[in-house]
Chains A and B, each alone.
Chain A
Amino acid sequence: MNYRLNHLKELEAESIFVIREVAAQFENPVLMFSGGKDSILMTYLASKAFYPARIPFPFLHIDTGHNFPEAIKFRDELMAKLGAKLIVGSVDEAIKTGMVVEEKGFNASRNGLQTAVLLDELEKGKFDAALGGARRDEEKARAKERFFSHRDEFGQWAPKNQRPELWNLFNGKKLMGEHFRVFPISNWTELDVWQYLAMEEVPLPMLYTAHTRDVVIRDSIILADSDYLNKKPGEEVKNMQIRFRTIGDMTCTGAVVSEADTLEKIIVEIETTRHTERGGRSDDKRSETSMEDRKKKGYF
């Protein structure tokens, strides 16, 4: 008898352990759901962790208002299937009430505005742990992130003063008003995620597979055309066959030209790709430490 797990099953076991640990250690956790593949994976793993019981926490979507309609449809269907409670924190609302101010210009993005709305929702819901689908391979500030990441009462991350994390022992103790961000899929890479989703045949929004769409090419990033995109004079709308490697705010999520219309083909494509998936995210390109800066302030 061979008592071995393949790497995907071992990652799965690690993530299930962490998700269960959250349910056991915290009073009021919430799962941050963006509609992207990582949060779909998180949802799937959470279903596994508590089967046959329901996932014992609600979902929170920070809605920039610039969503792919496909992603919203997928989100609502998934939530209905799970019988889960979905909380939507709206950036549109926050702009209307003056909590945040909309950026101006062609590269205006609502990405930064999400932080304030997220922190507000966490406070309103009195959530003491927010589960997220961030991975350490995404970005170098995330490479040093813990599974259980402590945040002070302002939601700030202190990268130099993180709690050491050893073995499978997770210290989720905190003072009143503080909370934790928990990242159960820290050790997965983009390729692991795709391989796992394919192995388990997890349904995904069609945005990830090759399709034709109206796009605008700006600074060599392919952006989906939509009412939210401020087009510069001379910018032309083209119809191309593309797919998305990440799904986020429509105005800053870049697509790639692709013919990969099945999960298997996507895996092959990723194996041969020489660019990181966040390479198409203009929000990360603002400076070398833009992710760290945003995280310190409480960004997810």
Chain B
Amino acid sequence: MILHVFSLNFLNGEKSKTIYIEQIKIMIDKNKNGIPDYQEKELLRFTTAGSVDDGKSTLIGRLLYDSKSIFEDQYEMIKKSSEKRGESEVNLALLTDGLKAEMEQGITIDVAYRYFSTPKRKFIIADCPGHIQYTRNMVTGASTSNVALILIDARKGISEQTRRHSFISSLLKIPHLLVCVNKMDLVDYSEEVFEKIKDEFSQFSSKLDVTDIHFIAISALKGDNVVKKSENMPWYDGTTLMYYLENVHIGSDHNFIDNRFPVQYVIRPNTDEFHDYRGYGGRVAGGIMKKGDEVMVLPSGFTSKIKKIDTYDGEIEVAHPPMAVTVLLEDEIDISRGDMIVRENNKPEVSQDLEVMVCWFNESKPLRERGKYTILHTTKEARCVVKEIRYKLDINTLHRDTEDLNVKMNDIARVVIRTTSPLFYDPYRKNRVTGSLLFVDEATNETMAAGMII
């Protein structure tokens, strides 16, 4: 339904007007029962990676198209562009490849974020380019994802890229791995092919730190098992891709056990009404915080009680990840940005010496042993020196190289650092918020690397 066309028809004849009004009326009636469904939706973030020909763009295009997230004018625009480029079919990759350089070279340079939603969930796709040199984009996209969608071409089986993407997903602790064996139509929808790839992948993934792996046989081009269950694969008894995305349990993806509240910003209104108000703004990074809880503040070690958990919408009793709230304590303690509110009997690690897996991002400057960097960790900033590079990891073979320690862009390495002041952290595998950090160049301020604390 095109609104503009409607509006023009509307001027010429009465017919379109009626259709338009009817449509709105019907929709409103549907929505009249109880709470609007949009207030019950969950947010799921997933990442995809792939190269030009493995059908990734087709799959994303299909998910967007089938969920009605591609608009007519967007579709018309890429159709025009495809024709201009002499392509016979509408190239859905053009939806995501928006930058000039990308269109000229026909490659994806940067992570593109795409959005679609169904009545059950809103989805954010971090669409990452799959070229070997763009590991840093995959890491970026993976850092906030609940699900990693890994595409395998049924004809080719597991490729170097499959391994790389799977490894990065496990390194970044994406809780759910979804392996889609695509292009099943080109292997006669063969169960044998699917099972073989499944076995091979399971063997390889046993070396990875992933617990939840799911396999789906699909054809993104023909639509088999994407939104609708395929009639071409009666032997396949699993769910469709869309069903999986809508139903995979993500309620436990946050850490709800270990209370961590990094203080982000101190709120002091200094008005007559709120004269003595001193609130600590921040986002709950772990655990369930309740009014009345006994808490400890790091680094000072002072203890107090939670007097109040405040929000613009009023006081609340309980706060949990990833809520942004303001915490008030019973006692006046000197607390500032970078401090952390925790429970006395469940403290994070506190140390200046850390073992970190780093993914190096910078093109011009490699990692320097003995090099000094600024560290961004939760809301805290510190400096560090790289004391030792333990090994470099080959992400294709998982081989640990202790000889060649030259860590360049897209390399992954294990290092030992010492920071200027103690960090309050958890191992990354226990908490993605308190276990992650960034390395920043002290001269150029560029983000040099991402780190995951071991």
Is residue A164 contacting chain B, with contact meaning CB distance below 8 A? yes
Mark interface residues in A165-178 (1 if CB within 8 Å of B CB, else 0): 11111010111000
> In the complex, A174→B27 CA distance in Å?
50
Mark interface residues in A132-153 (1 if CB within 8 Å of B CB, else 0): 0000110111011000000000
> Of B6, B21, B39, B140, which contacts A164 at CB under 8 A?
B140
Complex contact B115–A136 (CB within 8 A) = yes
Complex contact A256–B96 (CB within 8 A) = no
> In the complex, A163→B438 CA distance in Å?
11
> In the complex, A167→B438 CA distance in Å?
10
Is residue B235 contacting chain A, with contact meaning CB distance below 8 A? no
Complex contact B113–A143 (CB within 8 A) = yes
B149 to A: closest C-beta gap in Å: 18
Is residue B90 contacting chain A, with contact meaning CB distance below 8 A? no
B interface majority secondary structure = mixed
Q: A166-B436, A220-B4, A279-B71 are in contact. Are A20 and B113 (CB under 8 A)?
A: no
A141 to B: closest C-beta gap in Å: 5
- Which A residues are CB-close (under 8 A) to B137? 164
Complex contact A24–B42 (CB within 8 A) = no
Mark interface residues in A1-35 (1 if CB within 8 Å of B CB, else 0): 11111111111111011001101100000000000
A111 to B: closest C-beta gap in Å: 19
> In the complex, A266→B96 CA distance in Å?
27
Quick one: closest B residue to A280, CB to CB?
Answer: B4
> In the complex, A208→B329 CA distance in Å?
43
Complex contact A275–B274 (CB within 8 A) = no
- Which B residues are CB-close (under 8 A) to A269? 24
- Which A residues are CB-close (under 8 A) to B379? 24
Quick one: closest A residue to B17, CB to CB?
Answer: A257
> In the complex, A187→B323 CA distance in Å?
16
Interface centre among A12, A16, A137, A199 (most CB of B within 10 A): A16
Quick one: closest B residue to A48, CB to CB?
Answer: B312
Q: A20-B324, A166-B143, A171-B445 are in contact. Are A140 and B81 (CB under 8 A)?
A: no
A interface majority secondary structure = mixed
> In the complex, A80→B376 CA distance in Å?
38
Instruction: Please tell me which stretch of B117-125, B160-168, B398-406 contacts chain A, meaning at least 4 of its Cβ atoms lie within 8 angstroms of it.
Output: B117-125
Give how many B residues have a beta carbon under 8 Å from the other chain's beta carbons.
Answer: 100
Give how many A residues have a beta carbon under 8 Å from the other chain's beta carbons.
Answer: 81
Instruction: Please tell me which stretch of B50-58, B186-194, B206-214, B260-268 contacts chain A, meaning at least 4 of its Cβ atoms lie within 8 angstroms of it.
Output: B260-268
**Residues in A46-92 with C-beta less than 8 Å from chain B:** 47-54
B388 to A: closest C-beta gap in Å: 24
Complex contact A292–B100 (CB within 8 A) = yes
- Which A residues are CB-close (under 8 A) to B264? 17, 20-21, 24
Quick one: closest B residue to A256, CB to CB?
Answer: B3
Is residue B195 contacting chain A, with contact meaning CB distance below 8 A? no
Is residue A39 contacting chain B, with contact meaning CB distance below 8 A? no
Q: A13-B323, A169-B376 are in contact. Are A20 and B7 (CB under 8 A)?
A: no
Complex contact A265–B24 (CB within 8 A) = yes
Complex contact B283–A272 (CB within 8 A) = no
- Which A residues are CB-close (under 8 A) to B113? 136, 143-144, 186-187
- Which A residues are CB-close (under 8 A) to B323? 5, 9, 13
Mark interface residues in A103-122 (1 if CB within 8 Å of B CB, else 0): 00000000000000000000
Is residue B301 contacting chain A, with contact meaning CB distance below 8 A? no
> In the complex, A50→B325 CA distance in Å?
10
A11 to B: closest C-beta gap in Å: 7
Q: Which residues of B contact A (CB under 8 A)?
A: 1-4, 6-8, 10-11, 20-21, 23-24, 27-28, 31, 36, 38-43, 68, 71-74, 77, 81, 95-101, 103, 109-115, 117, 121-122, 124, 136-137, 139-140, 143-144, 251, 254, 256, 264-265, 267-271, 273-274, 277, 281-283, 288, 310-313, 318, 320-324, 326, 337, 361, 374, 376-377, 379, 432-433, 436-438, 440, 444-447, 450
16 extra interchain contacts, Cβ-Cβ under 8 A, other than A52-B277, A169-B436? A7-B41, A13-B283, A24-B337, A140-B98, A143-B112, A164-B137, A164-B139, A166-B139, A171-B445, A173-B440, A257-B6, A264-B28, A267-B36, A274-B3, A279-B4, A292-B100
20 contacts between A and B (CB under 8 A): A3-B254, A5-B322, A20-B281, A23-B265, A52-B271, A53-B271, A137-B115, A141-B99, A164-B139, A166-B139, A167-B144, A169-B376, A171-B440, A257-B6, A265-B28, A272-B24, A275-B3, A289-B98, A289-B99, A292-B98
